[in-house]
Amino acid sequence: MSEQQHRHKSGFETRAIHAGYEPDPTTGAVIPPIYATSTYKQDGVGGLRGGYEYSRSANPTRTALEGALAALEEGERGFAFASGLAAEDTLVRAVCRPGEHVVIPDDAYGGTFRLFDKVEQAWGLAHSPAPVSDVDAVRAAIRPGQTRLVWVETPTNPLLNIGDIEALAAVAHDAGALLVVDNTFASPYLQQPLTLGADVVLHSTTKYVGGHSDVVGGAIVVRDLALAEAVTFHQNAMGAVPGPFDAFLTHRGIKTLAVRMDRHCDNAERVVEFLAGHPAVSQVIYPGLEEHPGHAVASRQMKRYGGMVSFRCTGGEAQALRVCEDAEVFTLGESLGGVESLIEHPGRMTHASVAGTDLEVPADLVRLSVGIENADDLIADLDRALG
């Protein structure tokens, strides 16, 4: 059995720490070095040492990260990018052509919607929204012979809807399309979409994968080697790649992903329990709640329910804004998935780009990224802010 096969068969925590890099044969260094180089000495004209010629095409620090990403998602090839949106755009250009069509979530991340609505549509790629939790609605949104991608988030951002990956993969494949799963909210620790039939997994590694709010990045992992070749070509041709220090930080974050995610989930469950009993909260949205419409599917395809929690305020938008402004341990800010807890108002912040569209989010909605601080401190902070 090869070392790579062994790593794929190892437990997640073992893969997170060891996959992608063997200790340096010269020094024994157990951590990949930061190869701060733009070019490489060739062994004769066209004779590439280890396949490296220019760091846009490949860099050893990035190669280690990409190997780790593939191992975590149980895919064949991983690709690292300068941001999650760079990963998305590269994938779209690699797979789609003008005149074709994509199905997207009807509560997609605002940046994803903006990419399709303002950039890809101008390029000639049409899109239709559909609720990821409704397999029949997704099927109905497909345009036979034209739809190339069925694009889902699960859980979605920010309404935490759940899509049945296995069922959606069957629908996409019946139509000759690929299923793309944005796995950012779940992380590879909680969910591996490729094992459920998805063709592509996508991440904003800025979030849980990196985990420390100190680096921006994106990732794609695929199963099919022909698709991998198309992504490889476009990654190099478009050039939206991370530098070696960014790759180093992201890979460093991966090593603690499992223990961080368990703490995120522990704290989120405590926060949900508190919010569910608070009179200023009209609804708590969390897949771990039995009343959540996607609870059964989430229980089947996720290890746990994640660190993202959304809730609606009885006092409407004004109260939602006050809660965001009055929280102290929860930092008011965009992004998510870091060790520190964040709070935001999606309608005015991350999802402002969908205002006035079918994807508009409720004005009384607050989104929490529950960090790994002391859970009692988080609850006390929310209690004060909701006061």
Decide if 262 is catalytic.
no
DSSP string, 94-142: HH--TT-EEEEETT--HHHHHIIIIIIHHHT-EEEEE-TT-HHHHHHH-
Decide if 114 is catalytic.
no
**Residue 304 to residue 262: CA distance in whole angstroms:** 8
Decide if 303 is catalytic.
no
Phi/psi class of residue 306: alpha, beta or left (left: φ > 0; alpha: ψ in -120 to 50)?
Answer: left
| 3-state SS class at 285 | strand
- Of 62, 139, 207, 304, the catalytic one is 207
Cis bond upstream, residue 129 (ω within 30): no
**Residue 130 to residue 149: CA distance in whole angstroms:** 13
130 close to 106: Cβ distance less than 8 angstroms: yes
**Residue 376 to residue 379: CA distance in whole angstroms:** 5
- Of 109, 189, 208, 305, the catalytic one is 109
Please tell me the number of Cα atoms within 13 Å of 151 on its side-chain side. Answer: 28
- Of 56, 270, 303, 348, the catalytic one is 56
- Of 182, 199, 364, 381, the catalytic one is 182
Q: How many CB atoms lie within 10 A of CB 226?
A: 7
Decide if 56 is catalytic.
yes
CA 106-112-116 angle, to 5 degrees, is 85
Facing residues of 342 across strands?
331, 369
Instruction: Please list the active-site residues.
Output: 56, 109, 182, 207
